Amino acid sequence: MKDLIHRSRKSFTVAQPADSDVPENVWVKCPACRELIYHKQLAERMKVCKCGYHMRLTAREWLVLLDEGSFTEHDANLRPTDPLGFVSPKEAYADKLRDSQRRTGLSDVVVSGVGAIEGHRVSVAVCDFGFIGGSMGSVFGEKMARAAERAADLGVPLLTINTSGGARMQEGVIALMQLAKVNMALTRLAAARQPHIAVLVDPCYGGVTASYASVADIIIAEPGANIGFAGRRVIEQTIRQKLPADFQTSEFMLQHGMIDMVIPRGDLHSMLAKLMRLYAARGRTAHSASVPAETALSSI
């Protein structure tokens, strides 16, 4: 997996193209190189094509990063409501929630709990873009905040894997409140001198990027992931200028100092394990239970 190509790309869904005549669950056509890949081989490569294209994983598929059998889920009973009675011309919010829950098997975007990476305990919160575009609503924010507070209580690092289209408009200001709530919960984690490691995957936009994901101690992104606040088209229409071809890709963000590293999915587990060992080792010293991000990065 170390030969994966770092490349910029547009945002595509993992789903097989609708016009494909290939039987479902047998072959998958890569949206980047258009090659057919046997689904079993793709699963073994964590949905990374030979060309280096990183397809989207579900929240539960991301849990493969943890030690086998180590994950214990928390807050699975939290379910969103429809506080505004929101109805769009196409679909009522309550119906959209039910459809997303049925289709994904999740109660909301985030799956959270406690697991381990090479024996090091970690509080984990993983987003699923398949649930209403990974939008940040009341349950999303509550689960993220609880994951941060759980990490502080247990004295372990927080790992978040983030993909989102932004705040959930169907919940209005309640959704926007989650940005501040999660950041406040992270102050407890900082007081406990434990790190927040954020992994940004395609796509990661809006309030998630603008709030807790961008204040993490270590920020990692996948190759070619689209990351930003407003979308490219909105920015171009606002400033009336053409943006660089690689604008808002993870490589662009790294070049401009917005993230710390770009790591291919196949190397992500080993990098996370290295960070866990580093923080655990420094945490045992008499001087501090935590390591500044710049110190951690310089040791890698």
**Residue 95 sits in the same domain as residue 64:** yes
What number of other Cβ atoms are within 10 A of residue 91's Cβ?
Answer: 12
Q: Which domain holds residue 83?
A: 57-298
Give the end of a domain, one of 55, 83, 101.
55
Instruction: Say which CATH number the domain at 180 has.
Output: 3.90.226.10
The pLDDT assigned to 18 comes to: 41
Sequence-distant (6+) residues with CB within 8 A of 232 are 243, 247, 248
DSSP letters of 234-290?
Answer: HHHHHHTSPPPTTTTBHHHHHHTTSSSEE--HHHHHHHHHHHHHHHHHHHTSSS-SS
**Residue 43 sits in the same domain as residue 135:** no
**Residue 99 sits in the same domain as residue 156:** yes
pLDDT in tens, 83-117: 999 999 889 999 999 999 999 999 999 999 999 99
**Residue 88 sits in the same domain as residue 185:** yes
Quick check: 232 and 241 in contact, CB under 8 A?
no
**Residue 22 sits in the same domain as residue 69:** no
Quick check: 267 and 300 in contact, CB under 8 A?
no
Quick check: 117 and 93 in contact, CB under 8 A?
no
The model's pTM: 0.85
Give the end of a domain, one of 13, 30, 55.
55
**Residue 257 sits in the same domain as residue 286:** yes
Please give the tally of structural domains in the chain: 2
**Residue 13 sits in the same domain as residue 157:** no
pLDDT in tens, 49-80: 999 999 999 999 999 999 999 999 999 999 99
**Residue 133 sits in the same domain as residue 148:** yes
**Residue 153 sits in the same domain as residue 275:** yes
pLDDT at 187 over 70: yes
